[in-house]
Structure 1
């Protein structure tokens, strides 16, 4: 399910804090979420993990949480949210490509927890793989919903109680957006793979749908097993949820429709009614009484995306109708339709040629020479394929393309650095604005004092607040800021910069891959030409 770094949140009303730790330390069934037992009925420890606690005072996490709850009289009712569980899941490629290890992921998780959940008792645990065995390293952060210390006012907080000891953590939509932006920023900072987590997804698959698909696939595989064993090919081998079937039905209707009326009619033939309310689309299937909103299916199915596809289909239909030529009669000459050129599938992973003579001089044997000869032949073919695919006609043209690719990569890198500097500046401004806002009660209290003596005593009693306020005021003056920006507007601006940085980072990664590929092709072409030069010189001497 997870392919790039993502952030997931689950809240729990379970009063047994030990259950969270048990899940992190021992194997659990992916469908029932119950512990897996061995033949003797004992829990099976996970093969590899890293585990640490924060703010527990040397006590067990469960004991520390229960003591805190009793001390503040919180989390005593069944309906209270007792803990919050955040999961940061990294891309499986981050290990081999970017050097991410379980230990490094644990460090990142501990730092993320300390920065964004200060004052909360927490468990931080890193696993090297997920239940789907894709190799994605992921970090579990489990926090007690109760805060045991007063903390600074953080960007995702929106009320004074969010900083006070004895109050509870709230995972609001604004908080999740902030956490996602911080995960994106962390991945960029560490050089890890990342996508834009702030702007939705084309196919939105919820946890419930994901697990329904997994369970359905397991049941279907079990049902098909006897038929496959008997040499019979099952009719259905892939299980699809009702939402996925609906997505396919909508896409099929979109591909055949040129207007919204056609789209509605085609869906109605399949028993699906499309409704529009307040500018939003929803889809009602025959087996339901409540329609499924486009938001639950994905961004590809909302009103704007659907109308955009229909508009493109209508434009293509008009162009096709206008471009249909009159066929020449028998015996007449005319322009014959030309076959569209086929592009060769791009070969991935062109590698440098091996210098066989050098390796043999280093002491390699005949077996290595045979392997290297075959390897070089394959790489030569791959190199020539890429050379032809790009349309190069000379080594000089290839060299110019390498230089251009390098300049493009450097230009994007410069833009990234500029954007990072701007983003860092905005974050510093945000910290100062938040710090200054937190001192407002102290500053207001100073104005209320009637005498100089009272003001001096008040300043001394609230000295730390005034130190923070004066430091922030100096920062604003040094940067020429006369009017403080709104906190929400500043957070939106930071998220936009992070999103822009994400797109630019992906562009840089693609340009870097292209530069490396062209550079490898150039080196291989140079080596091939150098090898052919002696043969050409020998042939020329024979001709003379």
Structure 2
């Protein structure tokens, strides 16, 4: 899933940002890595482009603009903004995302959402965690060098004017996240809901604490491993992660809030509820950690939902055979793995060896095809049994049901997309109409018809935009314009709903494809085991 991160910088050396993008840096100290001769080591693979720099170096262009408008001259001024769009590692093998394609998406995103700013756009094929996640860096000069249209995240007239500075407000960051989600939906990439929190929230500070702690632990364990001694601990965990594990362990068995509190108290953790929110106090702290800082899995609504499920399961336990105990962590991990795991190891179609040999394939292909068919037949029967089918008719009915569900979700997704596009079009018209307010107010201030005609001619472009927006409002029966913030909130809500349907549709599509492959394989296996029947059927045709 793609994520968006924002960093503002007060560093007056714009060349430092470009140096970070082009040369290797230590992931902990963020200092450049030098070779044995003391020279910088270039990154192995990257794509780099500049926008609005008029052929000049990014750093030179930014400094010229700052001097021209007398901005970013003080030490405390924010000189640049750094946005990072990180794509899911699976987007490469599963969805065909390449470094060049990611660079093009980054450039398009920058042009649409940061117009009028000098910018660097650079794409790296991998992150410092070596997970294979392609990510795009967008570095913009905080100063705006061109007049720009009023965009949805802007709330002041100065946000559009030349010589003014970019502001990354909370509303702006939410808007950028929603646009990243829209971009991933449009491009068919993996995506999660960036607008409604995270089930397991790890801050940048905690992430680096874990990385540094793991590095220190590996260094400490190295002598023991060299002496063939197994270390007691090989994985470093932050205090917050230990607290999450304690909470999940308690949630796995507790059936009421009192029982949940009692189990935590045995581990030295005190849970407190205040104004509808939960917080947790560990023995080594004097200030409790709020559920918001741990993740949405540990807020009041999620905790009480799990407790209700545990209570219902305990009530049903005597009426059914006991299941082996499984913790909530295991259940969550299995469910997420089923959704997130790529289907590369799923069931594949059997090869028609006779047809391929008739097409001219050799003995080597025949041997490979026989082994392939044996493996896929075993996987097919395994999946067939996992779903609990007892006849091919049940399998065929399941394929039809999966197809209908997929089509229904697709219809809902298209309807939601149409509604979202309508809201976005309305938003564009509202913003365009709002930008012409000064011209419309000036027209009303004119005293005579001749003065109004001259004023309208002098501001013709503004009135063309205003008249087009007014015609749109009239055609759609809009008599009162919606508030811009309320309209943006409605769009973000629709994007969140679309994200849920988008992921549901992909899950249903994967299930349909798997069942369809199993059905085709079963049909092929049955036809091979009943050659006379197949011959009779072909004769009847």
- TM-score greater than 0.5 by the shorter chain: yes
1:537 and 1:403 mapped to 2: Cα distance? 24
2:522 pairs, out of 515, 520, 525, with 525
Q: Do the aligned partners of 2:181 and 2:194 also contact (CA within 8 Å) in 1?
A: yes
Report what 1:456 is aligned to: 453
Partner of 1:61: 58
Secondary structure at the counterpart of residue 176 of structure 2: helix
- Distance (whole Å) between structure 1 residues aligned to residue 253 and residue 521 of structure 2: 47
- Indicate the residue corresponding to 2:15 in structure 1: 18
TM normalised by structure 2 equals 0.91
Shift of 1:247: 1.6
Which residues of 2 match residues 117-136 of structure 1 at below 5 A? Answer: 117-136=114-133
Q: Which among 84, 89, 92 is matched to residue 89 of structure 2?
A: 92
User: Which moved further from structure 2: 302-311 or 491-500?
Assistant: 302-311
Is residue 5–residue 84 contact of structure 2 (8 Å, CA) maintained in 1?
yes
TM norm structure 1: 0.90
Stretch deviating more after TM superposition (14-23 or 279-288): 279-288
Instruction: Tell me the SS of whatever aligns to 1:23.
Output: helix
Cα deviation for residue 444 of structure 1 reads 1.4
- Post-superposition offset of 1:119: 0.8
Tell me the C-alpha RMSD between the 2 structures: 2.2
2:414 counterpart residue number: 417
The alignment status of 1:243 with 2:240, answered yes or no, reads yes
**What secondary structure does 1:466 align onto?**
helix
Within 1, Cα distance between the matches of 2:511 and 2:261? Answer: 44
The yes-or-no answer on 1:138 pairing with 2:121 is: no
Aligned to 1:306: 303
2:305 aligned with 1:288: no
- Does the residue aligned with 1:142 lie in a helix, a strand or coil? strand
Hey, what's the Cα distance between the residues in 2 that align with 1:395 and 1:306?
A: 42
Instruction: Say which SS state the counterpart of residue 85 (structure 2) adopts.
Output: strand
Secondary structure, aligned partner of 1:9: strand
Match of 1:334 in 2: none
| Residues in 1 aligned to 2:119 and 2:434: alpha-carbon distance in whole angstroms | 28
Secondary structure at the aligned position of 1:156 is classed as coil
The answer as to 2:101 corresponding to 1:104 is yes
Counterparts of 1:21 and 1:268, CA distance in 2: 51
User: Which of 61, 65, 74 pairs up with 1:77?
Assistant: 74
Structure-1 separation of matches of 2:177 and 2:491: 12
- 1:7 corresponds to: 4
Structure 2 residue runs without a partner (length 5+): 326-333, 536-541
**Which one of 468, 492, 495 corresponds to residue 498 of structure 1?**
495
**Is it true that 1:162 corresponds to 2:159 in the alignment?**
yes
The answer as to 2:214 corresponding to 1:209 is no
- Which has the larger displacement, 5-14 or 361-370? 361-370
Matching of residue 483 in structure 1 with residue 486 in structure 2: no
Alignment of 1:231-270 (within 5 A): 231-270=228-267
Q: What is the Cα deviation at residue 359 of structure 1?
A: 2.6
Alpha carbons 2:527, 2:534 under 8 Å: kept? no
Name 1:333's counterpart in structure 2: none
**Matching of residues 149-188 of structure 1 within 5 Å:** 149-188=146-185
Shift of the 259–350 alpha-carbon distance from structure 1 to 2, 3 Å rule, reads closer
CA distance change for structure 1 residues 498 and 46 in 2, over 3 Å: closer, same or farther?
same
Q: Which runs of 4+ in 1 moved over 6 A?
A: 535-538
1:445 matched residue in structure 2? 442
**1:432 counterpart (429, 434, 440):** 429
Alpha carbons of structure 1 residues 418 and 315: separation in structure 2 relative to 1, 3 Å: closer
2: CA distance, partners of 1:266 / 1:210: 28
Distance 1:497 1:266, change over 3 A: same
C-alpha deviation, 1:255, in angstroms: 3.6
CA distance in 1 between counterparts of 2:520 and 2:534 reads 22
Q: How many residues align?
A: 519
User: Offset at 1:282?
Assistant: 2.5
* Structure 2 residue matching 1:200: 3-state secondary structure: coil
Q: Is the contact between residue 443 and residue 455 of structure 2 (CA under 8 Å) also seen in structure 1?
A: yes
Compute the displacement of 1:72 (Å): 1.5
Match of 2:276 in 1: 279
- The answer as to 2:43 corresponding to 1:43 is no
1:191 and 2:175 aligned: no
> In the alignment, is the contact (CA less than 8 A) between 2:200 and 2:296 conserved in 1?
yes
C-alpha contact 2:26 2:33 (8 A) present in aligned 1:
yes
Q: State how far apart, in whole Å, the 2-side matches of 1:313 and 1:340 are.
A: 13
The equivalent of 1:388 in structure 2 is: 385
Report the CA distance between 1:513 and its aligned residue.
Answer: 0.8
